[in-house]
Amino acid sequence: MSHKSARYLPLVVTVGQVVIFPYYIIWLKQVSLTFTLFAWFFASFSFAAAWGYRIYQTKKNKDHSYLFIIYAGMGSVYILIGCIKNSYEFLPYVVLPLQVVLGVLQGYFRAWHSDQDTYHLHAVHHYLIVGFMMIGFSFLKIISPVVFITIFGLLLLICGFWEFIRRGKLNVPKKV
């Protein structure tokens, strides 16, 4: 891992996921009509995350993970969540596929991240950064959970785009 973004982007994503989690829970509770529905949404997320983890583990060529798609996919889901208004009657039907997609992507990312050389160092840094960020967030007046969710979605899209560029997918072959 000679490139710095390859070392730090996974840490940014994991810390962001943990920091945004309380706001995501608030949003999910707001769109759930009952606690039972909330529990079912969370169960679908957990099962999908296990599925995503398994997809990565059974992959034969783990060097070609196309992580930029995972970052962009998670970012798109968070931005879509930020754009959803809670007044729709069919909102629970929209939330379920979002939970499944987000679960698969996060499970896949976790499996990929645990295979990286820097994972153990990231685990230590992760706890420290999350602690400091949560203390910082405690001083902010929360406007709405969707503001934080949308900002994190944009950050993930930027990470996905950066990873896409870093891997050289946009490079045009030079004529010899």
pLDDT band at 142 (very low <50, low <70, confident <90, very high): low
Judge whether 176 lies within some domain. Answer: no
Tell whether pTM > 0.85. no
What does the alpha-carbon distance between residue 62 and residue 56 come to, in Å, rounded to a whole number? Answer: 8
Judge whether 76 lies within some domain. Answer: yes
CB 143 within 8 A of CB 149: no
Helices (H) and strands (E) in the chain, counts: 6, 0
CB 105 within 8 A of CB 77: yes
Please tell me the predicted confidence (pLDDT) of residue 167: 75
What's the pLDDT tens digit per position in 74-127?
999 999 988 887 667 788 888 999 999 999 999 999 888 888 887 777 777 777
Residue-number span of the structural domain to which 149 is assigned: 2-166
Judge whether 86 lies within some domain. Answer: yes
**How far does CA 96 lie from the centroid of its chain?**
16
CA torsion angle 142 34 31 98 (round to 10): 120
Judge whether 171 lies within some domain. Answer: no
Cα–Cα–Cα angle for 135, 6, 114, nearest 5°? 75
Judge whether 140 lies within some domain. Answer: yes
**Predicted confidence (pLDDT) at residue 169 exceeds the cutoff of 60:** no
Judge whether 124 lies within some domain. Answer: yes
Judge whether 174 lies within some domain. Answer: no
What does the alpha-carbon distance between residue 31 and residue 150 come to, in Å, rounded to a whole number? Answer: 16
Tell me which of 15-29, 63-77, 138-152 is least confident.
138-152
* Average of per-residue pLDDT across 136-159: 81
What's the pLDDT tens digit per position in 29-88?
888 888 889 999 999 999 999 999 999 999 888 777 778 899 999 999 999 988 887 667
What does the alpha-carbon distance between residue 26 and residue 138 come to, in Å, rounded to a whole number? Answer: 15
pLDDT band at 5 (very low <50, low <70, confident <90, very high): low
Our count of domains for the chain comes to: 1
pLDDT band at 1 (very low <50, low <70, confident <90, very high): very low
What does the alpha-carbon distance between residue 129 and residue 111 come to, in Å, rounded to a whole number? Answer: 21
Judge whether 18 lies within some domain. Answer: yes
